[in-house]
Amino acid sequence: MTRRITLSGHTYEFADLKALLAAATPERSGDALAGVAAASEQERVAAQWLLADLPLTTFLDEHVVPYEDDEVTRLIVDTHDAAAFAPVAAMTVGEFREHLLRPETDTTVLRDGLTPEMVAATSKLMRVQDLISVARRTPVVTAFRSTIGLPGTLATRLQPNDPTDDALGVSAAIVDGLLHGCGDAVIGINPATDSPQRAIDLLRLIDDVRQRYDIPTQGCVLAHVTTTLQILERGAPVDLVFQSIAGTEAANDGFGVTLALLREAHEGALALGRGTVGTQCMYFETGQGSALSADAHHGVDQQTLEVRAYAVARAFDPLLVNTVVGFIGPEYLFDGKQILRAGLEDHFCGKLLGLPMGVDVCYTNHAEADADDTDVLLTLLGAAGCPFVICVPGGDDVMLHYQSLSFHDALYARQTLGLRPAPEFADWLARMDMMTADGRVRELSADASSLRVLTAGLR
Amino acid sequence: MSPDPLDALRQATRARVALGRAGDAMPTAHLLTLRQAHAAARDAVHDPLDADALAAEIERELGVGVCRVASSAPDRSRYLQRPDQGRRLAPDTELPAGEYDLALVVGDGLSPLAIRRHAVPMLREILARLDGWRVAPVVVATQARVALGDEIATAIGARSVLVLIGERPGMSSTDSLGAYFTYDARRGRRDSERNCLSNIRPPYGVDYAPAADTLAMLMAEARRLKLSGTALKADPALPSAEEPS
């Protein structure tokens, strides 16, 4: 259905809903690459005016990717909760934005009543402060051995990647992270190869460290879900099942996953029952641009597709989800400004759909971004109540060759914004004499007992 | 074990562990070390390749003919944002057409620095291993992505193409060269139809001679089986191209 609007004597036309959503999206290189971006700044605002007046119910009737062609669309439509939607069913997108911003609105109860497209559309109208203030009021709490997402906390994934999966190298990075009070969301390694035996070895390494020091956290080797299923059957200590996911069936096909496969893996990990304070055992990563890079975008803008991936995640009750926001490169998010906006959009949209939405605050060396940009995004995410971020030694991932946050960055954010680690992990840090009573991670001298204890395991 | 446990940590990994702290932040020396590494990587991406000088050097050093082309990306900023343009030749590009088994392409990619350092010695080793191949003049390409080699091969009349290209710089490796081989090269070839050897950068990465040995073996096998990519496993150490620049 064509929609038209006349602004300052010029008439703008949008052929269908996906064209309107794409044109209304704040500028980013990936939409220009896909050929769906607004042709001018005024056209972008024209699309936003039209979007603001669109009833939310429009998204239940018009699908950006056809129902018949795509299992993600079918998942979204078939699991939509009409009762949860009822309180906002009469609103337009613009009214819904205002509803979310009102302090008396409980933003945590809508989740299953909202579709990704409704949430994406609303975020396109929002400024950065809207994305922050609404997300902050929408905590999502999950648990396995630690509790993630409680207001006033900021957890971290400790990412001890090594270019050759060397056990000593991985162990050193884990110890370094623990000494900086990191690792409460997960100790999660990207393996250098997808070998099942390698994944088992790495999982055992993490599990040994965890048990030796009685650390209330979970381990994960971010292998393909089929690899995790294999090693799960071979008795490996699988805490969490990881998978990268996207917002269309075709893009998920490119990742080698289907909803049925994810369901099988979820059931397998649940059956192990390894959690202590909770049972959530799935971990997903996403990122704007993944569908376009797989040539599976159906002419839909990358941010709307990203939020559709959250519908996939939502179906499996995950412990952790994070967008890898600056990793994909400047052809999708060109500079610090685009990465910043995308990170806050992803966090807001994930939270509204009920996800424990973390962010890998990061950039590659060919993007127009640097550590000042990641400082800004980290600070804003802390203000927005982001459940967790990813940290690597010195912010330099020596295996994936990109820059994420350092352990120091997590210390900065917690201290400056008054945030604590996950409560179980904070207790452990205190027991290890690594954290002061006022919540500060101690700077260690070479003879500190915790340092002696933790490094004693290095072989 | 070292008496200082922090030294034990540092010796265990190339990762930047045990940096120490200034309050919650990094000590100044580490702050500047990281900034310097990022600056080197940024410069590796943005310092342009002097293609004319490289072409002259290849002719002089290796005694082979050289052609110059550019992709349709008009500048570095567009090149970074529009990989599709980096895969297409500039309009009206002309190359002398012949009948060849192999086109050799040297492209700046994401690290012109890698090309400046490694292209000539790497080409020398490869050319020494191409007995029985009819090899087209070397093509030096700017603002180039890997798939630009497909269009070049078609234009110059070559069945296959070997593209040497600068890889995306990391903080500790700014000059890594990648080699991508595609049998029956033509526009529309997918990454899964190429074979890749990356991290060519002596003395830290793979050396020229072993890299050329591996490529020559692979190319001979591709010629015999008339294919390249994931289906070609001449050597288990050679993965198919997953993420070319």
* B53 and chain A in contact, CB less than 8 A: no
Q: How far apart are CA A6 and CA A121, in angstroms?
A: 21
For the segment B111-123, the average pLDDT, to the nearest whole number, is 98
Residues of B in contact with A371 (CB under 8 A): 34-35, 38
Q: How far apart are CA A435 and CA A276, in angstroms?
A: 23
**Chains A & B: contacts with CB separation below 8 Å:** 129
Q: What is the pLDDT of residues A31-77, one digit of tens each?
A: 999 999 999 999 999 999 999 999 999 999 999 999 999 999 999 99
The pLDDT of residue B243 is 43
Q: What is the pLDDT of residues A382-391, one digit of tens each?
A: 999 999 999 9
The pLDDT of residue B5 is 83
**Interface touch A408/B19, C-beta < 8 Å:** yes
For residue A223, what are its two tokens? 């292998």
For the segment A17-24, the average pLDDT, to the nearest whole number, is 98
DSSP B18-60: ----BTTB--HHHHHHHHHHHHHHHHHHHSPP-HHHHHHHHHH
With DSSP H G I counted as helix, E B as strand and the rest as coil, what are the percentages for chain A, rounded to 5? 45, 15, 40
Contact A289, A282 (CB under 8 A): no
Q: What is the pLDDT of residues A275-285, one digit of tens each?
A: 999 999 999 99
Which secondary-structure segment (H or E) carries B7?
helix B5-12
Q: How confident is the model at residue B1 (pLDDT cuts 50, 70, 90)?
A: very low
For the cut 60, the answer to whether the pLDDT of residue B235 exceeds it is no
CA distance A445 to chain B (A): 9
**Interface touch B171/A370, C-beta < 8 Å:** no
**Interface touch B6/A32, C-beta < 8 Å:** no
For the segment B138-150, the average pLDDT, to the nearest whole number, is 98
Residues of A in contact with B170 (CB under 8 A): 365, 398, 401-402
Query: Cis before residue B203, ω within 30 degrees of 0?
Result: yes
Lowest mean pLDDT among B52-61, B178-187, B224-233: B224-233
For the segment A1-23, the average pLDDT, to the nearest whole number, is 97
For the segment B180-191, the average pLDDT, to the nearest whole number, is 93
Q: How confident is the model at residue B240 (pLDDT cuts 50, 70, 90)?
A: very low
Interface of B with A in 210-229 (CB under 8 A): none
What end-to-end distance do the CA atoms of chain A give, in Å? 66
Contact B97, B73 (CB under 8 A): no
Amino acid at A404: S
Q: What is the pLDDT of residues A330-368, one digit of tens each?
A: 999 999 999 999 999 999 999 999 999 999 999 999 999
The pLDDT of residue B233 is 64
- The residues pairing with B89 across neighbouring beta strands, listed in sequence order, are B71
**Interface touch A446/B6, C-beta < 8 Å:** yes
The pLDDT of residue A446 is 67
CA distance readout (Å), B127 to A359, A404, B215: 47, 41, 11
DSSP code at position A70:
-
Q: How confident is the model at residue B2 (pLDDT cuts 50, 70, 90)?
A: very low
Give me the residue label for tokens 């002696």. A452
* A193 and chain B in contact, CB less than 8 A: no
What residue in B sits closest to A454 (Cα-Cα)? Answer: B5
* Cα dihedral B78→B82→B88→B89 (10° resolution): 0
**Interface touch A330/B81, C-beta < 8 Å:** yes
For the cut 50, the answer to whether the pLDDT of residue B244 exceeds it is no
Average per-residue pLDDT for chain B: 92
Give me the residue label for tokens 């400024």. A127
For the cut 80, the answer to whether the pLDDT of residue B238 exceeds it is no
**Interface touch A394/B30, C-beta < 8 Å:** yes
The pLDDT of residue B231 is 78
Q: How far apart are CA A82 and CA A95, in angstroms?
A: 19
* B190 and chain A in contact, CB less than 8 A: no
CA distance readout (Å), A441 to A88, A387, A450, B21: 44, 19, 12, 11
Burial classification of residue A309, based on how many CB atoms lie within 10 Å of its CB (0-12 exposed, 13-18 middle, 19 or more buried): buried
* A169 and chain B in contact, CB less than 8 A: yes
For the cut 70, the answer to whether the pLDDT of residue A110 exceeds it is yes
Please calculate the CA angle A9-A12-A16 and round it to the nearest 5 degrees.
160
**Interface touch B81/A33, C-beta < 8 Å:** yes
HSE (CB half, 13 Å, CA atoms) of A135? 32
CA distance A312 to chain B (A): 25
Q: What is the pLDDT of residues A119-144, one digit of tens each?
A: 999 999 999 999 999 999 999 999 99
